[in-house]
Structure 1
Amino acid sequence: MKIAQLSPNQKIYLRIKTKTMDYNYAYKTNQAVFELTELTLEFCQTNQSYLINDKLANTYINSYYNEQVDNIKELLHHQLKTGRNHKAYLENLLGILEKRIEWLHKMKYKSVDFFNNCSIKTIPSSYFPPVGTSNKISFKNFLNDSIVPNSQEQKVLWFLQSYEEEFNHYENKLDFEKGLVLYVMSLYKRALSILCNYVKTIYEQVDFIDFNKLSNELLSETNPRQKKERNCNINLDKKSVAHLFRILLEEDFLVFDELNEANNRLELKRFVENNFNYQNTKKERLPIKSFNREYSEVSSPSSPEVKKHKEFIDKLILMLQARKNKIKD
């Protein structure tokens, strides 16, 4: 059963637009957009797994959606350079992408309610599952805590940990499967948003762009995945960094997701890993990796770190008090 499909009018519109543009690039772009926005979700009885567009969830964990988005950007770049009626085409494309994003929100893609809200077809046991890395392997690695640090699986682990209560602490493989589906849906939503923002940027500048002279500069300027030149250095050890960001998050100085507390913590960990360096005992600057471990230790109420957290707060109070005393009225 297919869900979140394009309306007939949208498909006809894109096919008509193909006639006014370079056929090769327009056709390829449209097909790539169809492939990204069409979504099929099924449950395979044979191996008790969910299939997304006839593929196991593990297929999407690495760079599947990122590659799709990058391909569409490149095709769209060539299409705009050779085609016509850019504003109308981009406006329609925006509508298609925004409709998909709206559907994900309507289905509550971040919640366990997602499985009740959307239509999922059950495939009979006679169906032969697709070839690919079995989710059973990931499930065993998850249970045995044998995830490779700093790998893509590590990111999946953090996501799954934020849903442990909702999925019964993953006592069975089916709950693990559902957790993987929600993770893939989060990747899917992110990919759609990146592409939507990219198209919107071009659309807003469409009247000022000479598409005949369009180069890859526009592509790079609107690409949110550009590599940063440097991270911010923090003059604290790794554990103290965890104490600091725990305070900032729990006191609502930093907010990443106002609706989902678990996802709020997850996004904080990603933010710290992607943007900060800590200082080790040798005064060396090192990137923060595997931050989940330190943060879990300092935030656990039963951890020995509770005493150290209080000590960190006392030091912070003394520092702020000293700063306050230096300020003249």
Structure 2
Amino acid sequence: MYTTDLNNKLYMFLKHTISFNTEHNKYIFFDKWANEIDKSYFDEKISEIKQLFHKQLKHGRNNETVLNDLVEMTGNTVNWLSETEIHKVSYIDSLALKNKSMDTIPPEQKIVSEFFIDYTEEEMLEYENRFLALNDDLDYFYTLTRYIKELNNYQKPTDLEKVQLMYCLELYKEAVYEIHGYLYQWQMDLPTTDLSKIDFEIADRVINNLKCNTSLQKIDLAHLFRFLKESKIFFFDENDPYRNARLMNQFIEDNFNYRDKKGEIVEIKNINKQFSIINDRENKKNYVSFLTRLIKNITHYRDNTKV
């Protein structure tokens, strides 16, 4: 029972479906309108698969065999995603999509083509605050800026739909990689793990809540990571700056807490807005001020370090 439920859930996730609705001229991904899918959708899918996997480990049989099959299954999809250029417009154009009717009305597209008239890719990066007033998903903004030239400033409404689908595919790819990595790690650890001593609910909660605290305020933490990112001391994808920025933001939110104005340690939410504030020309003086303080602290530490 547990094995069947897990296999079915994972199989349906790996067998992603893309279709098109001619009535509204919109793409459909996993039987949902593409422009209503965001990272939280895939986080929920990952959580569902992990929960079924935990039930399999706790109550199922032949865990080693089942796990080997799961790793192979996800590995095949990882290989396909690595070899297929799903991030290119040409991939979307090559799809032979079936028309699919939907019972629901698609959500209104907050970002309209007029937003991009006469904007170059470089100029778009100066308009993050304007974008955030319409849509708080800055990850989507990075995807939009990446294709603005290739898709002629999104003057056709269908071009915006196309880039939304590519954004869904990017999020999907990262979700598949995460699931595969999680299962692969279990494949390595299973032979030496006593499953009877693991409370999966508590273990997951501890892992999810295990974060590094910082004495910096939220804006200064953004300043620090901007420096680390732009100096290429830290990076996730050195060939794709937009994907690198998105993964960096996710990493910060997943792994750090900050000190708020009351002096309390709180979790980070929507670090995107802090980076947007930094990129505002008027606030770059604050960034330079932070770098000056950082240099002063590093210099003081260097001068007081015994050799």
TM bracket (short chain):
0.7 to 0.9
The amino acid of 1:89's aligned partner reads V
Deviation at 1:62, TM superposition (A): 6.0
| Conserved? CA contact 2:237–2:244, under 8 Å | yes
| Local SS of the residue matching 1:136 | coil
Match of 1:7 in 2: none
Please give the per-residue CA displacement for 1:236-270, whole angstroms capped at 9, x wherever unaligned. x4443333322111111221222211121222233
Does residue 1:177 correspond to 2:149, yes or no?
A: no
In 2, distance between residues paired with 1:278 and 1:138?
33
| Conserved? CA contact 1:232–1:276, under 8 Å | yes
Match of 2:124 in 1: none
In 2, distance between residues paired with 1:172 and 1:102?
33
Deviates more, 1:175-184 or 1:82-91: 82-91
Change (3 A) 1:224 1:113: farther
Sequence identity, in percent? 23
Does residue 1:109 correspond to 2:91, yes or no?
A: no
Match of 2:276 in 1: 296
Alignment size in residue pairs: 290
Deviation at 1:44, TM superposition (A): 2.9
| Local SS of the residue matching 2:17 | strand
Match of 1:164 in 2: 145
Change (3 A) 1:67 1:315: closer
Alignment of 1:1-329 (within 5 A): 24-58=1-35, 60-61=37-38, 63-80=40-57, 84-116=61-93, 119-123=94-98, 127=99, 129-132=101-104, 134-139=106-111, 154-155=136-137, 157-168=138-149, 169-208=153-192, 214=196, 217-218=199-200, 221=203, 223=204, 226-228=207-209, 231-235=212-216, 237-274=217-254, 275-280=256-261, 283=263, 285=265, 287-299=267-279, 303-329=281-307
More helix by share: 2
In 1, distance between residues paired with 2:252 and 2:205?
18
Change (3 A) 1:98 1:314: same
Change (3 A) 1:180 1:287: same
**Higher RCO structure, 1 or 2 (CA under 8 Å, sep 6+):** 2
Deviation at 1:294, TM superposition (A): 3.2
In 2, distance between residues paired with 1:190 and 1:225?
23
In 1, distance between residues paired with 2:288 and 2:48?
50
In 1, distance between residues paired with 2:185 and 2:218?
38
Structure 1: segments with no counterpart, 5+ residues = 1-23
CA RMSD in angstroms comes to: 3.7
Structure 2: segments with no counterpart, 5+ residues = 116-128
Change (3 A) 1:170 1:136: farther
| Conserved? CA contact 1:147–1:154, under 8 Å | yes
| Conserved? CA contact 1:42–1:120, under 8 Å | no
In 2, distance between residues paired with 1:90 and 1:284?
42
Deviation at 1:105, TM superposition (A): 1.9
| Structure-1-length-normalised TM-score | 0.71
| Conserved? CA contact 1:279–1:285, under 8 Å | yes
| Conserved? CA contact 2:147–2:163, under 8 Å | no
* Structure ID, larger Rg: 1
